[in-house]
Amino acid sequence: MKSNMVFFWGDAEQSVNMAMEELAEKRIVERIWQKDYTVWKEHPQEISNRLDWLSITEEMKPQLKDLKEFVRSLCQEGFQQAILLGMGGSSLAPELFSRVFPPQEAALQLWVLDTTDPEVISRYTDYARQKKTIYIVSTKSGNTLETLMLFRHFFALVSEESNQNPGQHFVAITDPGSPLVKLAEEHHFRRVFLNNPNIGGRYSAFSFFGLVPAALAGVNLERLLASVEEGRQGCSPELPVRENYGALLGTMMGVLARKGRDKLTLFFSPLLLKSLGDWIEQLVAESTGKEGKGILPVIEGSPQDWNAYGTDRCFVWIGLERDHTMEVFAQQTRQKNYPFLSVTLPDVYALGEQMFLWEFATALAGYFLHINPFDQPNVEETKVLTKKRIESLKILPDEEALPVSETIHMLPVSKVSTPREALQDFFSFLPPDGYVALQAFLPYDKTIETEMKEIALLLGRKLHRAVTVGFGPRFLHSTGQLHKGDAGKGVFMQFLSESTLSLPIPGERLDFGSLKKAQALGDREALRNRGRRVLTFIIADGLPENLTRIREFLVGNLSPLK
């Protein structure tokens, strides 16, 4: 192990010791490596065909030379940038690689596009027009709605601007036999990378889904896979469980969640904060949030006042060497007997090691929670309801909105007379171990993200509960599973902007703005069908100013909770 990992169990030490004995007695780590589906369930469905990530380094090493040659040929042809079109497991690892790893090989500028917001798509369209661009259409199933709509948009763009075969600007990453294979053949894609189908999307970081974009971004693939191999060795069945870092981390996550510490609160060095946080969030939330259980990742930039933290928290710090910003907080967690894990990375390439450890640990946490960590049974619900809205062109809300201002309206949980009453009604059920999920169906940029974080901090201080922020539709492929599959302790505050830009989707009767609205209202309906409380702000225009007004409305009308 190159990373330094220090565990402090706090008040959970006795439970952890008992769990470690159980792991050794039942040979759980060894059975995971043997791909024994009975570790999790009595049947093999969506388990036996999801475990090849365990041996991914042996599978991908022979592919590295070809990947580097592919990138070199693109550079020689004058390609300057790549835009990856994907969602969830197809986009989060590539985004991490593009943001964190400095280029060490021949490289293109890599952008990741995982939204249906027309303003953001238009921004990337402008990028595409500036330089010669290759597009990576990345989807395991081959029928991911957002990815295919984005493909149609950019294929039409290239067809308009190129005298040559537009398909030569496109690359596919998908499973064998998926609909994308046929689509790529029909449109004469430059290349199709067929991934091992026995790897689930959120465990696919070191398969073609992660390594093709990593190669395009100039990541040293040999060095990355060597780091992954370090992670595999750190989870080896030959190690005693108390020296097995994958077992230690998985036990921390699963056992603490069983004891009620199910808000996994994570802090990172600034370079790692956004991208690694998003990747871990999807891995943990989508893997564990089902069957009335779940571990909620809470990504925080810096520690809050201790009054904001209840006994449902455990803490993790992942930082680079020479970053000592969390030392005081680490001491405080020990004094208060809160579980805490400190991870120090010698360099960014140690992320390969850490990412494999987190994959293994998340799978092991599934054992303690008695769930299948490789399926996503509730993700389809929002997709079905969104599709119904699209097919019927019923994009408007189902209920009457309350005016908060001329440009802000609110869809309440139940029938009330005023926005203040709606807010009080919304928070009337929020248990001490509950959480608030802010769902931003907004154009993503730094200013809007900052405003959303300010709202999250405000709610955390007022409510003394965990608050998360997710941008839609991205989070639908991540925490969206947990939101509908966990024990129902969360309440959900949506922020939906009315798009002023009309951006048609080629071959469809609606534009991207209508698609985004259909996804937001489809998820609202799916959550409500599950008995969740949802409050929706519809913002006509004026972002981010109207987010500031919503924050001021919350300040003036929200009573503190204990």
- Domain-terminating residue out of 210, 225, 240: 225
In terms of C-beta density within 10 A (0-12 exposed, 13-18 middle, 19 or more buried), how is residue 555 classed? exposed
**What length is written for the chain?**
562
- At 406 the three-state DSSP class reads coil
- Domain-terminating residue out of 191, 225, 259: 225
DSSP codes of every residue in 121-158: HHHHHHHHHHS-EEEEEE-SSS--HHHHHHHHHHHHHH
Give every strand in the sheet of 313-320, ordered side by side.
4-8, 340-345, 313-320, 263-268, 296-299
Q: Is the same domain home to 32 and 125? A: no
Token duo for residue 386: 């969104």
Residue 18 inside a domain? The answer is: yes
Closest CA to 279 of 484, 474, 462, 561: 474
Residue 431 inside a domain? The answer is: yes
Residue 374 inside a domain? The answer is: no
Q: Is the same domain home to 450 and 552? A: yes
Whether the Cβ atoms of residue 256 and residue 313 lie closer than 8 Å to each other: no
In terms of C-beta density within 10 A (0-12 exposed, 13-18 middle, 19 or more buried), how is residue 487 classed? middle
Q: Which residues contact 463 (CB under 8 A, 6 or more apart)?
A: 427, 430, 436, 558, 560, 561
User: Can you give the CATH number for the domain in which 452 is found?
Assistant: 3.40.50.10490
The Cα–Cα gap between 141 and 233 comes to 31
Per residue in 284-318, pLDDT (tens digit) is 999 999 999 999 999 999 999 898 899 999 999 99
The confidence score (pLDDT) of residue 106 equals 85
Residue 497 inside a domain? The answer is: yes
Stretch (H or E) spanning 298:
strand 296-299
The Cα–Cα gap between 174 and 208 comes to 9
Residue 91 inside a domain? The answer is: yes
Residue 548 inside a domain? The answer is: yes
The confidence score (pLDDT) of residue 203 equals 98
Whether the Cβ atoms of residue 373 and residue 366 lie closer than 8 Å to each other: yes
Q: Is the same domain home to 276 and 346? A: yes
Q: Is the same domain home to 204 and 349? A: no
- At 436 the three-state DSSP class reads strand
The Cα–Cα gap between 83 and 505 comes to 18
Q: CA dihedral defined by 248, 252, 254, 257, rounded to 10 degrees?
A: 180
Q: Is the same domain home to 102 and 164? A: yes
The confidence score (pLDDT) of residue 562 equals 67
When the pLDDT of each residue in the chain is averaged and rounded to a whole number, the result is 95
Residue 562 inside a domain? The answer is: no
Q: Give the range of the structural domain holding residue 300, as residue numbers without chain letter.
A: 4-54+231-369
Q: CA dihedral defined by 118, 119, 120, 126, rounded to 10 degrees?
A: 100
Q: Is the same domain home to 131 and 193? A: yes
- At 399 the three-state DSSP class reads coil
Q: Is the same domain home to 204 and 352? A: no
Q: Which residues pair with 199 in a beta bridge?
A: 51
Q: Is the same domain home to 437 and 354? A: no
Q: Give exposure, 197-214, as e/b (b: 16+ Cβ within 10 Å).
A: eebbbbbbbbbbbbbbbb
Whether the Cβ atoms of residue 366 and residue 238 lie closer than 8 Å to each other: no
Q: What share of the chain is helix, strand, coil (3-state, %, to 5)?
A: 50, 15, 30
Is-cis flag, bond preceding 544, omega within 30? yes
The Cα–Cα gap between 262 and 482 comes to 12
- Domain-terminating residue out of 225, 241, 263: 225
Q: Is the same domain home to 279 and 331? A: yes
Q: Is the same domain home to 323 and 416? A: no
Token duo for residue 553: 């409305």
The Cα–Cα gap between 313 and 318 comes to 16
The Cα–Cα gap between 250 and 368 comes to 9
Note down pLDDT in tens along the chain; length 562 residues: 789 999 999 999 999 999 999 999 999 999 999 999 999 999 999 999 999 999 999 999 999 999 999 999 999 999 999 999 999 999 999 999 999 999 988 899 999 999 999 999 999 999 999 889 999 999 999 999 999 999 999 999 999 987 679 999 999 999 999 999 999 999 999 999 999 999 999 999 999 999 999 999 999 999 999 999 999 999 999 999 999 999 999 999 999 999 999 999 999 999 998 899 999 999 999 999 999 999 999 999 999 989 889 999 999 999 999 888 999 999 999 999 999 999 999 999 999 999 999 999 999 999 999 999 999 999 989 999 998 888 876 676 777 899 999 999 999 999 999 999 999 999 998 999 999 999 999 999 999 999 999 999 999 999 999 999 999 999 999 999 999 999 999 999 999 999 889 999 999 989 999 999 999 999 999 999 999 999 999 999 889 999 999 999 999 998 877 6
Residue 337 inside a domain? The answer is: yes
The Cα–Cα gap between 486 and 552 comes to 31
Q: Is the same domain home to 181 and 112? A: yes
Distances in whole angstroms, Cα of residue 372 to Cα of each of 20, 129, 288, 500: 20, 44, 8, 42
Closest CA to 317 of 257, 272, 251: 272
The confidence score (pLDDT) of residue 258 equals 96
In terms of C-beta density within 10 A (0-12 exposed, 13-18 middle, 19 or more buried), how is residue 559 classed? exposed
Number of structural domains (the chain) is: 3
- At 437 the three-state DSSP class reads strand
Q: CA dihedral defined by 122, 125, 129, 133, rounded to 10 degrees?
A: 170
Q: Is the same domain home to 412 and 339? A: no
